[in-house]
Amino acid sequence: MAFQNTLAFAQSLDQADPLRSYRDQFHIPTFNGKDTVYLCGNSLGLQPKAARAALEEEMTKWAELGVEGHFTGDTPWFTYHAALAEPTARLVGALPQEVVVMNQLTVNLHLMLVSFYLPQGQRYKILTEAGAFPSDQYALESQVKFHGFNPDAAIIEVAPRAGEHTLRTEDILAVIREKGSEIALVMMGGVNYYTGQVFDMAAISREAHAAGAICGFDLAHAAGNVPLQLHGWNVDFAVWCTYKYLNSGPGGTSGVFVHERHAKNPDLPRFAGWWGHDQSVRFQMKKGFIPMPGAEGWQLSNSQILPMAVHKASLQMFDQAGMQNLRAKSEQLTGYLEFLINELAQPKEALEVITPKEPSARGCQLSLLVHQNGRELFETLMANGFILDWREPNVIRVAPTPLYNTFEDVFRFGQFLAAHFQK
Ligand SMILES: *Cc1c(COP(=O)(O)O)cnc(C)c1O
């Protein structure tokens, strides 16, 4: 599409947007009485208006029924997580029995590492991306130490080539091939939080398996942002949070995927709890853990109904809008953002987009590396009603999301940058 740098053009795209009605289903934070330009859904997604009603429903149930709420109503708390399985499976390209919603992201990552990081002899290393999100780095580091290894020896980081900001798929695959016999686990982000790069999960999974390794992904920046086919890509496990693109509230619950081939494997070590125990005999309260088949068998505790109620409302919106439709709009929104940045008078000297240019290698986020006074630019933006996020040492992440952002939002951001750099 040929983009134009005018308000009228941006508004015409909004008029033609089949998803435009979704914005009204969100609370948009305001600044001086007007809507902010909220470009921070990669950090904390906005609140769907339906979230409060979903929460109220469970609060009312609790008020009126007390403990009986576990077994009463349309979605009894006892099996509440099961109501999330189908929409979650559609979101990440999985079978319903391959997914479960529980806990929080880093907790789930540790649970998956307990089951899927199984060092044996020379095969004890974990391959990951350099510059992964810190929680993932700490999780991997502490897990390899837990198994008695030195993280410097046991963690292989694949880094961009000199002078480049993102990883080349061929380089990731080459390291997997080269060190294959030493690698127990390939564990990466699906989308890197800093650069916004989408990794080729299908190719990485294939190569990891060819090397005899297990393959897992942290999809914190991928779930609800890019289309996923976890089952088809043959990924072994994945984890994600729900408060970024999935709009399920601060510190919200998390999702887990375990491929069905592991569903009934009794040899996998796991840390068990009563909520993963065979549901039909759970309340016999007997010794001897019998895991439920599938991802449910990794549950530890009874479900956190309140955050899960919010997530349920959010998943309904994703189901209704459809991930393919969201992705189509997302590519346009981000394409428009890129176009406006390229229109800036002196982009090369002022800032550089480090996110890949190919739409298939990125989600909605563009990461702007600001060469001079980046922090000042960021603070000026924030002081003028633009909500974005800053990552040390000099990156502003801009994430227009297709559910509630408009082309006009993106246009206004472009206008502001243009004015800033003309000063
Ligand atoms: C946001 C994010 C986290 C945060 O972890 P929590 O356990 O939810 O606090 C972890 N890893 C990645 C890749 C993230 O993007």
The ligand 1 atom nearest the CA atom of 105: 7
Last residue of a domain, one of 284, 304, 319: 319
Note down pLDDT in tens along the chain; length 423 residues: 899 999 999 999 999 999 999 999 999 999 999 999 999 999 999 999 999 999 999 999 999 999 999 999 889 999 999 999 999 999 999 999 999 999 999 999 999 999 999 999 999 999 999 999 999 999 999 999 999 999 999 999 999 999 999 999 999 999 999 999 999 999 999 999 999 999 999 999 999 999 999 999 999 999 999 999 999 999 999 999 999 999 999 999 999 999 999 988 978 999 999 999 998 888 888 899 999 999 999 999 999 999 999 999 999 999 999 999 999 999 999 999 999 999 987 667 788 999 999 999 999 999 999 998 899 999 999 999 999 999 999 999 999 999 999 999 999 999 999 999 886
* Residue with the two structure tokens 């109904």: 305
Q: CB of 243 within 8 A of CB of 44?
A: yes
Residues 230 and 351 placed together within one structural domain of the fold: no
Does 136 carry a binding-site annotation?
yes
Residues 347 and 262 placed together within one structural domain of the fold: no
Q: Is the CB of 194 under 6 A from ligand 1?
A: no
Does 318 carry a binding-site annotation?
no
The ligand 1 atom nearest the CA atom of 193: 15
The ligand 1 atom nearest the CA atom of 218: 13
Residue 1, pLDDT score: 81
Residues 162 and 267 placed together within one structural domain of the fold: yes
Amino acid at residue number 291: P
Residue 131, pLDDT score: 93
Residues 81 and 38 placed together within one structural domain of the fold: no
Strands 386-387 and 389-391, sheet pairing: unpaired
Residues 62 and 144 placed together within one structural domain of the fold: yes
Residues 60 and 31 placed together within one structural domain of the fold: no
Residue 1 resides in a domain: no
pTM of the model: 0.97
Residue 344 resides in a domain: yes
Residue 328 resides in a domain: yes
Residue 305 resides in a domain: yes
Does 74 carry a binding-site annotation?
no
The ligand 1 atom nearest the CA atom of 132: 13
Does 243 carry a binding-site annotation?
yes
Q: Is the CB of 139 under 6 A from ligand 1?
A: no
Residue 349, pLDDT score: 74
Residues 250 and 172 placed together within one structural domain of the fold: yes
CATH (domain of 315) = 3.40.640.10
Q: Is the CB of 133 under 6 A from ligand 1?
A: yes
Does 106 carry a binding-site annotation?
yes
CATH (domain of 337) = 3.90.1150.10
Does 135 carry a binding-site annotation?
yes
Structural domain harbouring 207 = 53-319
Q: Is the CB of 79 under 6 A from ligand 1?
A: no
- Count CB neighbours of 216 within 10 A: 26
Whether residue 393 has a cis bond before it, omega within 30° of 0: yes
Q: Measure the CA angle with vertex 192, ends 237 and 421; round to 5°.
A: 160
Q: Report how far ligand 1's centroid is from the alpha carbon of 240 (Å).
A: 8
Residue 300, pLDDT score: 97
Q: CB of 85 within 8 A of CB of 96?
A: yes
Residue 47 resides in a domain: no
Residues 113 and 241 placed together within one structural domain of the fold: yes
Last residue of a domain, one of 286, 319, 352: 319
Last residue of a domain, one of 319, 349, 374: 319
Q: Among 103, 191, 241, say which to mutate for ligand 1: greatest number of ligand atoms within 8 Å of CB.
A: 241
Residues 195 and 88 placed together within one structural domain of the fold: yes
Joined together, the tokens standing for residue 84 give 């999330």
Q: Which residues, 6+ apart, have CB-to-CB distance to 218 below 8 Å?
A: 105, 109, 132, 133, 136, 187, 188, 189, 190, 238, 239, 240
Q: Report how far ligand 1's centroid is from the alpha carbon of 221 (Å).
A: 9
Residue 314 resides in a domain: yes
Q: Is the CB of 221 under 6 A from ligand 1?
A: yes
Q: CB of 183 within 8 A of CB of 126?
A: yes
Q: Can you tell me whether residue 63 is helix, strand or coil?
A: helix
Residue 48 resides in a domain: no
Residues 81 and 201 placed together within one structural domain of the fold: yes
Residue 79 resides in a domain: yes
Residues 259 and 389 placed together within one structural domain of the fold: no
Q: Which residues, 6+ apart, have CB-to-CB distance to 415 below 8 Å?
A: none
The dihedral region occupied by 184, where left means phi > 0, alpha psi between -120 and 50, and beta the remainder, is alpha
Looking at the 3D structure of the chain, how many domains does it have? 2
Q: Is the CB of 105 under 6 A from ligand 1?
A: yes
Q: Is the CB of 199 under 6 A from ligand 1?
A: no
Q: Which residues, 6+ apart, have CB-to-CB distance to 322 below 8 Å?
A: none
The ligand 1 atom nearest the CA atom of 241: 8
Residues 163 and 207 placed together within one structural domain of the fold: yes
Q: CB of 221 within 8 A of CB of 192?
A: yes
Q: Which residues, 6+ apart, have CB-to-CB distance to 330 below 8 Å?
A: 225, 363, 364, 400, 401, 402
Q: Which residues, 6+ apart, have CB-to-CB distance to 393 below 8 Å?
A: none
